[in-house]
Structure 1
């Protein structure tokens, strides 16, 4: 590998800008959901597909990208990803119907699904081990800073002009990414090292699609059909992985229990991030009666703090190890999350902002360090597979969290004659479900670090 030719920081930032744009739209569109529900005459459980379809496509594309990275130059993949994203932005800007809006989100998912693993591949391949925590923090910063401005950006444009302009104003940002990437990423020849296991890719597609549709229709008899489709997809994927000479993803990395722990911790953090980005903006608009811009502003301080802490926490890990930032971060996140759940009973904008800020302090210290700690346990030959597991399941878990939260809230809204009370109760129940997952991860991490210390 010709490591000297790449301009590392601008290369990481160029790929990161695409991931940033994807998360920005994702969080910006969350505050438009009440507007979309009214404009397209759809339900809460239907509108969440604006986020879910995007995350679903990324979940399928990331394993495919593991194959692409092994067989095509990173420069070619970067350009292709960028062009897909730009076409998706144009499609959504002019979209007159909900289905066309979803198609544009699908194209953006293809772009991000290539760009996200590409960014971490560049970091893992070209960054020295002793600086990896800091550079992973920079990579995470590009995606974690998006929630800091996404809701405000989306709320402002929706309130003043139209939600369509959320997509238009990002086209210059993607063009900047394209120019930066063409400068920083050289054409490095790649010796094809694998063939595409198409059956594994089909299995992953059936698995993720089936599970997400099942979660969307959960509680109904017809939900059993997509659940069966998901089960068939899982069987196909596992059989191909065990029998294929060059599987799409090697699951041997999951035999490392410490890697599994950090992977699960990372996914729980993603659950929380996507769950709260759905709950809070909709709660502020539906229950408190504020507009989309105010709903976005509520998210701004906490998300900004989480983004700022990402590279700082990486340096703490490089200097002091994983134990301090991860355990302190998860504890702070749990306190802030519980406070948010309680505050929904007697909500005030200031209280919700304070609870979210406290929670994001914890996420800032733990989120990216979970991925860094997990990847550091692997050999260079396993980086591609580990990277695939982190990035695929990150997106899928985000889609699952959004689907679960939307389904829970929608269920309480329909069953309660008072729509506002139903929204409040549904929001609290959704947050409590995610809180239980957070507590389980905290206990598992404490157990791991205690055993490591005494081994």
Structure 2
């Protein structure tokens, strides 16, 4: 079972590494895949968690993601202007930090989670995602020849869809694994599965932040050599 859980992540890493193995775009793709995988997996999981474990109504469970989505829509134009004024490094690093903060809050606050706390955590996560989402593609486009920009955009869009489906599969698979192999009532086993998901999400957020740091370190090194 663990093998099948890790296989999609290995495929994402393989694709990210091989498509642009000789170019810094691979670093951009790495920090793009993890947030896409995490965000869409978290979106499904937050609804399931609110409905099944917190005991909210289906209406409230469906609305927990709405405030974060609205905040993300407002932040997206601001993220582009921020990149124009401060370069790509600042909004991407800030986005990665918010991404990690929001997921760590979910992990730490799990025993206390309410629909309101899920909304707050999702707003933080969504803010980080939208600060870095478009800027990641824009930054990657500056690292290739103009004739290859369209290929970069299509590749990122394809990997976003793939990573999103993997994130949903992993989130539900971990809950299912805990329900089948854990001990206690169904609610207790589901809670443990949620714990696994929050740990996975936090680890992916940390990987994202490290990838951002490493990518810009390589870019700065290359610029100094030129």
| TM > 0.5 fold call | yes
- In the aligned structure 2, how far is the partner of 1:252 from the partner of 1:423? 38
What is residue 347 of structure 1 aligned with on the other side? 113
Q: Mapping of 1:2-401 within 5 angstroms?
A: 218=1, 253-257=20-24, 259-401=25-167
RMSD: 2.3
Q: 2:188 aligns with which of 412, 415, 421?
A: 421
| Number of residue equivalences | 212
Deviations for 1:326-385, whole angstroms, at most 9, x for unmatched residues? 001110111111001222222222222212212222112112211111122222221232
Runs of 4+ in 1 over 4 A off after TM superposition: none
* Residues 305, 364 of structure 1: 8 Å contact kept: no
Conservation of the 8 A alpha-carbon contact between 2:19 and 2:26: no
Instruction: Identify which of 389, 392, 407 aligns with 2:173.
Output: 407
- Deviation, 1:451, is 4.4
Mapped to 2, the partners of 1:361 and 1:351 lie a distance apart of 15
Question: Helix, strand or coil for the counterpart of 1:345?
Answer: helix
* Separation (CA, whole Å) in 2 of partners of 1:363 and 1:305: 11
Report the alpha carbon displacement of residue 444 of structure 1 after superposing the two structures with TM. 2.7
Higher relative contact order (CA 8 A, sep 6+): 2
Which consecutive residues of structure 2, in runs of 5 or more, have no partner in the other structure? none
**Larger Rg, first or second structure (1 or 2):** 1
| Equivalent-residue separation in structure 1 for 2:44 and 2:90 (angstroms) | 30
1:252–1:410 CA distance, 2 compared to 1 (3 A): closer
| Alignment CA distance shift 1:288-1:301 (3 Å) | same
Task: Write 1 or 2 for the structure with the bigger share of helix.
Answer: 2
State TM-score, norm by structure 1. 0.44
CA distance 1:219–1:261, shift in 2 (3 Å): closer
Q: 1:286 to 1:396 in 2, by over 3 A?
A: same
Residue 453 of structure 1 and its aligned partner are, at CA, apart by: 3.7
Q: TM-score, normalised by structure 2?
A: 0.85
